[in-house]
C-alpha cells in the first residue's frame, strides 16, 4: 500500500508536462509544473499547478492554467496492481483513517454487449467487458481479464482518462516518458526506484496538458 501521510514520502521527482489532443500525446513545450511556496513547518506540501512560461524572453510573468482534474495512480504490485485517488498524496492524507481522499481499486462499469470497457471509481465489475483486449496487460492488469467465454470481443477502453494515462506512464522505466512514442529523458533520477510507482496526473481544460511525476 502507498504511504497514507504526506510526511511518509521521501520526495518527488518532478516530470515533464505533456499534451493529450486528438488521441496523440506529446511534450507540451513552454509549460511546466510547480508547487506553491513550501511551508517548512507543515508536513503537507502546497498544491501545484501547470504554468505557461511568460513571453518576451521570460520577462513577462508565467500564466497559471486552470486545473480540470487531478489524480494519483499507484502501482502497488500484486495483489493491488492499480489503485488511484482524486488528489495529491503530498498535499493531504489518504483515507480511510484520515480525512483525506480514499483509495480506489481499479474497477469497471457493468459489462454489456458492446464489449467496451469503462474504468470508473466504485464500479460494479472487477473484470473488463470483452475478450482479447489488445491493451491488456499494458494498461489493465491481467487479473481483471474477463473469464466469461460468452463475453463479446473487446471493442475498446474508456472511462477515467487520468487513470488510463497514469497506467500508460507506469509501464515505462523511471525517468523515461515513453508517452510521446520515444524515450525522452524527463529529468527524473532513474536511481530513485520507488517502492510504489506513482503517476500524478494534473489536467487543464485546453488540450489536456498532463504532468507526470514519480513519488518516492
Cell of 7: 510526511
Mean pLDDT calculated for residue range 138-163: 90
The boundaries of the domain holding residue 182 are 6-215
* pLDDT over 80 (residue 20): no
Matching residue, cell 504554468: 51
Residue 71 covered by a domain: yes
From CA 126, how far away is CA 58, in angstroms rounded?
49
Q: Decide if 117 is inside a domain.
A: yes
Site of grid cell 483509495:
103
CB within 8 Å of 138: residues ≥ 6 apart: 167, 171
In a domain, 12, yes or no: yes
pLDDT tens track for 103-127? 889 999 998 888 999 999 999 999 9
Looking at the domain assignment, is residue 170 inside a domain? yes
Q: Are 103 and 83 in contact (CB under 8 A)?
A: yes
Domain count, the chain: 1
* pLDDT-derived band at 131, boundaries 50, 70, 90: very high
Q: Which three cell numbers stand for residue 55?
A: 513571453
Residue 105 within a domain: yes
Q: Mean pLDDT, the chain, as a whole number?
A: 76
58-109 tens-digit pLDDT = 678 888 887 777 888 888 777 778 889 888 888 888 876 556 778 889 999 9
157 within some domain: yes
Q: In sequence order, what are the residues at sequence separation of 6 or more whose Cβ sits closer than 8 angstroms to the Cβ of residue 127?
A: 108, 111, 144, 145, 146, 147, 148
pLDDT digits (tens, 9 = 90+) for 154-199: 999 988 888 888 888 777 665 554 444 433 433 333 333 334 556 6
Per-residue pLDDT at 205 exceeds 60: no
Amino acid at each position: 500500500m502507498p504511504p497514507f501521510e504526506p510526511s511518509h514520502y521521501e520526495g518527488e521527482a518532478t516530470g515533464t508536462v505533456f499534451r493529450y489532443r486528438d488521441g496523440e500525446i506529446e511534450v507540451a513545450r513552454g509549460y511546466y509544473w510547480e508547487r506553491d511556496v513550501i511551508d517548512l513547518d507543515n508536513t503537507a506540501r502546497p498544491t501545484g499547478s501547470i504554468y505557461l512560461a511568460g513571453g518576451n524572453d521570460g520577462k513577462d510573468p508565467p500564466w497559471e492554467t486552470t486545473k480540470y482534474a487531478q489524480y494519483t495512480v499507484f502501482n502497488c504490485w500484486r495483489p493491488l496492481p492499480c489503485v488511484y485517488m482524486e488528489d495529491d498524496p503530498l498535499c493531504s492524507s489518504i483515507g480511510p483513517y484520515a480525512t483525506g481522499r480514499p483509495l480506489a481499486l481499479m474497477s469497471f462499469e457493468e459489462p454489456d454487449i458492446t464489449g467496451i470497457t469503462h474504468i470508473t471509481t466504485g464500479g460494479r465489475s472487477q473484470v473488463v467487458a470483452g475478450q482479447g483486449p489488445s491493451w491488456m496487460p499494458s494498461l489493465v492488469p491481467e487479473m481483471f481479464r474477463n473469464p466469461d467465454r460468452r463475453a463479446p470481443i473487446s471493442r475498446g477502453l474508456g472511462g477515467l482518462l487520468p487513470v488510463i494515462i497514469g497506467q500508460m506512464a507506469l509501464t515505462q522505466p523511471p525517468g523515461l516518458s515513453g508517452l510521446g512514442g520515444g524515450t525522452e529523458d524527463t529529468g527524473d533520477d532513474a536511481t530513485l526506484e520507488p517502492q510504489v510507482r506513482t503517476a500524478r496526473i494534473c489536467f487543464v481544460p485546453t488540450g489536456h496538458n498532463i504532468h507526470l511525476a514519480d513519488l518516492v
